[in-house]
């Protein structure tokens, strides 16, 4: 009997530990980037619906370009603050075979489309309807941005509102690579 | 007689107006979908609390979206499917049945089964132990009488004989 109780208690504790670790955001990518290991962008071939249009597209379809992957939602205030910065970066990036790729998360498409119109965004935007794509990047707060080089590796991560230096770094990478 | 007449009248009315009956049933079905009914079953995706209790701009956007679908005459199931398509399965108040969320459904079943199994294993041994204890008690009572000395036994006999 005491063995059964011990086993049951151990099971409950294991379940709790697993639950907590599964819910907490994954920071493996941040660690690898900090160490300069430039990990490959996760779920690059995953097809996501295109916002405001029919069809699907994946990150892998942009292979060969420098990509500033930006997770956002229409209800997120910092996303609204950084939207003009990203749009102006898009104009510079386009000239060097690079692009911003927006991915909406936890956002209804009519609201996202309204946001795109309000901030005159011209870069492509995909919808992460399940949240799995965002979670594979350890995204748990918005906005979050990732610079992906022409080989599909993550070279920089920004969690929170973008800083100009982060965007400048992405443009510089596009210019010299 | 009057009751029988009323039954006949009702039957005749029901038979003559099946379309009206269906329309009434349809109206009842449509009435069942309301913002409040859906609100109870979904979450505010940014505040992580039931939408019914949430007070935030995002909660209002979700309510607006649901109300739009309610106005279109969509059913609860259709509205929930549309919400999942927009916000993912996290919008549902009930956890999904895969990944870690599955434990919500599996653990209670496992716990009940484990309890039943434990009882099935323990009950027979408890019963056996209780029976053995009873037997022991009965045996010890008999043993005590057997342990009476000859003098005590004689005295007990004489005492009992006095009551005869």
B134 pLDDT tier (thresholds 50, 70, 90): confident
Report CA torsion sign: A162, A165, A169, A171. Answer: positive
Among B94, B123, B139, the domain-final residue is: B94
ipTM for the predicted complex comes to 0.71
Same domain, B45 and B19: no
Same domain, B40 and B88: yes
Mean predicted confidence (pLDDT) in A139-162:
95
Check residue B21 and give its pLDDT: 47
Q: Which of A76-80, A89-93, B21-25, B117-121 has the lowest mean pLDDT?
A: B21-25
Check residue B20 and give its pLDDT: 47
pLDDT tens digits along B79-93 = 999 999 999 888 998
Shortest distance between the Cα of A74 and any Cα of chain B, in A, equals 9
**CB-nearest partner of A106 from B88, B100, B118:** B88
Same domain, B153 and B123: yes
CB contact under 8 A, B87 and A109: no
Question: Where do runs of H (alpha helix) occur along B1-101?
Answer: 2-16, 18-32, 35-39, 57-71, 76-87
What φ, ψ does residue B118 adopt, rounded to 5°? -60, -45
Rounded Cα–Cα distance for residues A89 and A99 (Å): 8
B54 pLDDT tier (thresholds 50, 70, 90): very high
Residue A82 CB: number of other CB atoms within 10 A?
A: 25
Among B94, B126, B145, the domain-final residue is: B94
Same domain, B87 and B115: no
Contact indicator for B26, B43 with CB cutoff of 8 Å: no
Check residue A5 and give its pLDDT: 73
Is B29 a residue whose pLDDT tops 90? no
Greater confidence (B124 vs B138) lies with B124
Check residue B4 and give its pLDDT: 58
Q: Report the number of distinct structural domains present in chain B.
A: 3
Average pLDDT of chain B to the nearest whole number: 80
Share of chain B above pLDDT 90, in %: 32
- Number of Cα atoms under 13 Å in the Cβ half of residue A110: 10
Q: Which domains does chain A have, with CATH numbers?
A: 28-176 (3.40.30.10)
Greater confidence (A157 vs B122) lies with A157
Is B39 a residue whose pLDDT tops 90? yes
CB contact under 8 A, A111 and B87: no
Mean predicted confidence (pLDDT) in A118-140:
94
For residue A4, the chain B residues in CB contact (below 8 A) are 118
Is B1 a residue whose pLDDT tops 90? no
Check residue B28 and give its pLDDT: 46
Give the position of tokens 């911003």: A100
Shortest distance between the Cα of A70 and any Cα of chain B, in A, equals 18
Same domain, B39 and B58: yes
Rounded Cα–Cα distance for residues B140 and B137 (Å): 5
A114 pLDDT tier (thresholds 50, 70, 90): very high
Is B136 a residue whose pLDDT tops 50? yes
Domain containing B14 equals 1-31
Check residue B10 and give its pLDDT: 47
Check residue A23 and give its pLDDT: 66
How many CB pairs lie under 8 A apart between chains A and B? 42
What φ, ψ does residue A68 adopt, rounded to 5°? -100, 100
Is A11 a residue whose pLDDT tops 90? no
């Amino acid at each position: 009997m005491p063995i059964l109780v011990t086993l049951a208690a151990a099971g409950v504790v294991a379940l709790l530990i697993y639950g907590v670790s599964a819910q907490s955001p994954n920071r493996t990518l941040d660690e690898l980037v900090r160490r300069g290991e430039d990990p490959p962008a996760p779920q690059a071939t995953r097809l996501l619906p295109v916002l405001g249009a029919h069809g699907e597209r994946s990150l892998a379809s942009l292979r060969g370009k420098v990509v500033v992957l930006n997770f956002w939602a229409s209800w997120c205030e910092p996303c609204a603050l950084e939207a003009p910065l990203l749009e102006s970066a898009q104009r510079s990036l386009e000239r060097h075979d690079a692009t911003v790729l927006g991915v909406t998360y936890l956002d209804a498409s009519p609201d996202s489309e309204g946001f795109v119109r309000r901030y005159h965004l011209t870069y492509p935007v995909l919808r992460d309807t399940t949240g799995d794509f965002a979670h594979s990047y350890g995204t748990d707060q918005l906005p979050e941005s990732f610079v992906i080089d022409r080989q599909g590796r993550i070279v920089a991560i920004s969690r929170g509102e973008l800083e100009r230096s982060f965007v400048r770094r992405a443009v510089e990478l596009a210019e010299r690579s | 007689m009057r009751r029988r007449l009323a039954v006949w009248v009702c039957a005749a009315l029901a038979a003559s107006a099946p379309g009206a009956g269906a329309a009434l049933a349809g109206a009842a079905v449509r009435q069942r979908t309301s913002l409040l009914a859906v609100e109870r079953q979904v979450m505010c995706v940014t505040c992580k609390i039931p939408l019914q209790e949430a007070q935030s701009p995002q909660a209002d956007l979700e309510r607006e979206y649901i109300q739009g679908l309610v106005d279109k005459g969509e059913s609860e199931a259709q509205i929930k499917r549309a919400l999942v398509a927009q916000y993912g399965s996290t919008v549902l108040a009930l956890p999904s049945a895969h990944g870690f969320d599955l434990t919500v459904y599996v653990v209670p079943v496992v716990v009940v089964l484990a309890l039943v199994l434990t009882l099935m294993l323990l009950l027979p041994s408890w019963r056996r132990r209780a029976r053995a204890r009873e037997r022991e008690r009965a045996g010890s009572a008999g043993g005590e009488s057997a342990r009476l000395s000859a003098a005590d036994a004689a005295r007990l006999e004489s005492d009992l004989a006095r009551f005869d």
